[in-house]
Amino acid sequence: MLWLPFANFGSMFETIKEAAFKHSIEAAKEDHNHSPLSIFEFGKELLNGLGKFISSSFEETEKLNIANGLREIFNVTTTRIIRFTTGFPHPPTFPPYIPEPTTPQPQAIAHHKTWPRITTTPTVPPTTTPSTTTATEAPTTTLPMTTPKTSTFTLPTPYPIWPTTSRRPPITWKQITSSNITSTTSAPEVVTARKWIPWKVVTPTPPLPTTTTTTTTTVRSSLTSEASLPDYFTTDDYEMATSELITEASTTVTAAIPHIVKARKYTRPPVSDRVSITTPATISQKCEICKPGSRCNVSLRSFETSDPIFQYCYSHSTMIDESMQDLLRDTQTSSFPSHVTWHQSVPPEVLQLVQTIMALYRPSRCLVIGVFTGLGLLGVAEHVDSRGIVVALEHPGYAVFWERVGQKHAKKLTTAQMSRIQIRTSESIEKSLPRLAANEPNTFDFVFLDDFKRDNYLDDYEHAIRLLRNGGLLVINQALNGGGVLSGVDNMTNEDRVIRNMNIRIKQDARVRASLLPYGGGTWIISKKVKR
């Protein structure tokens, strides 16, 4: 028997060889008259020769390239290590999010009046035994990130994801920004840099007189000019139109109807009133949560709200499944560079909403814009149709969070689910998104827009709409930007401004039906109209 050096091509060759020659060897043993140059011998020589040739003709690097090529063909998920040229200047000091011990789960209450025979025993709340977890630094051989050596902290079991506290969880703002914080070896002390403003009950004020002024007419005419802009226009065009609209509308404060006090027959308010209500100038005077002259700042997401209505709604919604909870926990307890926080992750209630919607119509072709540690991506991949795909776009410099945190959770998906994911991280979203929109318009059933809110976020919206097929669905996360979009123009951050402009654009966009839900950080549910 002739064994030539196939070993460097792994057990695959061995298996093929064995399968191919077993029969011939057995046959040759039995038949002594069998010619040594039988068809089996010939095949054996041929394959051995081929193996020898491959072994000797390729350099190690070429073999690696072939292996990489094969991996690309069979599994497009990138495993490329991103090397930072500058590195992150500060050691990540962000401590893990440690929610307070869980409050009892909602309990069913017996309905004695209507059904006297049914008695329900209240559910015993699960006991929470604190367990100690040790988070050790992830391997950082290829990254110049410095991470805390080892931090030990206590996680309640089960670890609560939904809000279970009556006050805001410890968000240690000072620790994020301060450069002299060193890593902790015990449960981090809560440093409250900002005074927590409790949620205020907004008492509706009586409606202001609805006088139609000359200025109102001006607003309407500026709106008409905005609406007559071409179907797709640049951010600059839109910003110009919007700023014109704001300047003019801000003078119509007295013409607004700020609140509807009593329920009455719904009639759509005239355009001028609707514009007045949404202008920052009006809202900054009416907002009762924010201090005049400062940026509006409200926290609605499950892990930060103290509002009982929001807590009630979130805690009565279906929880994301165990594997998604694991990934969220991992994200919360991972070390990030100082300019990144786990709060960038999609909140669980929004992911849960996305999954509920996806379960209704099983989209086939999905697009996730902005990956971070991959919570949204893997949540979508779990619910995409069995014949579908999920394309995900991420900036190359930020792919590291997926590689370090998300990728190991992706292994919990089935092979079929994994094979549906295509992550594109070779270029920035500013480049990859327009390219995709130009190449594959009207082809996606579902788009989840959740990337960094840059100056050109309005463009991202336009590209997302272009990519959607008629009747497709777009979900946009964090559309209130922590309440910033309600601030007066002077107190807005750049991010507030771009998101507010996008919100106005969506409201005016005749191609879509859209609902902005005060859920999570503000969630747009947008359906692209079917052309008739």
Ligand X SMILES: C[S@@+](CC[C@H](N)C(=O)[O-])C[C@H]1O[C@@H](n2cnc3c(N)ncnc32)[C@H](O)[C@@H]1O
Are 226 and 242 contacting, i.e. CB atoms less than 8 angstroms apart? yes
Task: Indicate the residue among 363 and 370 with the shorter CB distance to ligand X.
Answer: 370
Question: What is the C-alpha to C-alpha distance for residues 298 and 309, in angstroms, rounded to an integer?
Answer: 14
Task: Indicate the residue among 63 and 329 with the shorter CB distance to ligand X.
Answer: 329
Phi-psi region of 68 (alpha: psi -120 to 50; beta: other; left: phi over 0): alpha
First to last CA, the chain: 73
Question: What is the C-alpha to C-alpha distance for residues 230 and 215, in angstroms, rounded to an integer?
Answer: 26
Please state the closest distance from residue 452 (CB atom) to ligand X, in A: 3
Task: List residues bridging with 517 in a β-sheet.
Answer: 523
Return the number of other C-beta atoms located less than 10 Å from residue 264's C-beta: 7
421 DSSP 8-state letter: E
Please state the closest distance from residue 150 (CB atom) to ligand X, in A: 26
Amino acid at 133: T
Please state the closest distance from residue 459 (CB atom) to ligand X, in A: 13
Q: Which of 249, 226, 223, 284 is nearest to 492 (CA)?
A: 284
Are 241 and 188 contacting, i.e. CB atoms less than 8 angstroms apart? no
Encoding tokens for residue 281?
Answer: 């100038």
Please state the closest distance from residue 376 (CB atom) to ligand X, in A: 3
Encoding tokens for residue 210?
Answer: 């609805």
Please state the closest distance from residue 350 (CB atom) to ligand X, in A: 9
Please state the closest distance from residue 375 (CB atom) to ligand X, in A: 4
Task: Indicate the residue among 6 and 94 with the shorter CB distance to ligand X.
Answer: 94
- Told to check if 502 binds ligand X by CB under 6 A, we report no
Are 240 and 505 contacting, i.e. CB atoms less than 8 angstroms apart? no
Task: Indicate the residue among 272 and 345 with the shorter CB distance to ligand X.
Answer: 345
Task: List residues bridging with 369 in a β-sheet.
Answer: 393, 449
Task: Indicate the residue among 256 and 368 with the shorter CB distance to ligand X.
Answer: 368
Within residues 393-412, the interface with ligand X by CB under 6 A covers: 394-395, 398
Task: Indicate the residue among 298 and 429 with the shorter CB distance to ligand X.
Answer: 429
Q: Which of 95, 70, 138 is nearest to 403 (CA)?
A: 138
Encoding tokens for residue 81?
Answer: 């290590």
* One character per residue 436-455, x = contact with ligand X (rule: CB under 6 A): --------------xxx---
**Nearest residue by C-beta to ligand X?**
376
Stretch near ligand X under the rule CB under 6 A, chosen from 124-132, 391-399, 410-418, 519-527: 391-399
Residues constituting the chain: 532
Distance of CA 392 to the CA centre of its chain: 10
Please state the closest distance from residue 389 (CB atom) to ligand X, in A: 17
Question: What is the C-alpha to C-alpha distance for residues 181 and 175, in angstroms, rounded to an integer?
Answer: 6
Task: Indicate the residue among 231 and 427 with the shorter CB distance to ligand X.
Answer: 427
Please state the closest distance from residue 87 (CB atom) to ligand X, in A: 16
Question: What is the C-alpha to C-alpha distance for residues 483 and 496, in angstroms, rounded to an integer?
Answer: 8
Please state the closest distance from residue 359 (CB atom) to ligand X, in A: 18
Q: Indicate the SS3 state at residue 271.
A: helix
* One character per residue 325-354, x = contact with ligand X (rule: CB under 6 A): -------------------xxx--------
Task: Indicate the residue among 398 and 461 with the shorter CB distance to ligand X.
Answer: 398
Q: Which of 284, 202, 242, 198 is nearest to 483 (CA)?
A: 284
Please state the closest distance from residue 368 (CB atom) to ligand X, in A: 6
Please state the closest distance from residue 194 (CB atom) to ligand X, in A: 22
Task: Indicate the residue among 258 and 376 with the shorter CB distance to ligand X.
Answer: 376
Task: Indicate the residue among 226 and 450 with the shorter CB distance to ligand X.
Answer: 450
Tell me the three-class secondary structure of 121-164, residue by residue: CCCCCCCCCCEEEEEECCCCCCCCCCCCCEEEEEECCCCCCCCC
Task: Indicate the residue among 284 and 478 with the shorter CB distance to ligand X.
Answer: 478
Please state the closest distance from residue 99 (CB atom) to ligand X, in A: 18
Encoding tokens for residue 504?
Answer: 């106005």
Binding residues for ligand X, rule CB under 6 A, total: 16
Question: What is the C-alpha to C-alpha distance for residues 80 and 87, in angstroms, rounded to an integer?
Answer: 17
Task: Indicate the residue among 392 and 486 with the shorter CB distance to ligand X.
Answer: 392
* One character per residue 359-378, x = contact with ligand X (rule: CB under 6 A): -----------xxxx-xx--
Q: Which chain residues interact with ligand X by CB under 6 A?
A: 344-346, 370-373, 375-376, 394-395, 398, 429, 450-452
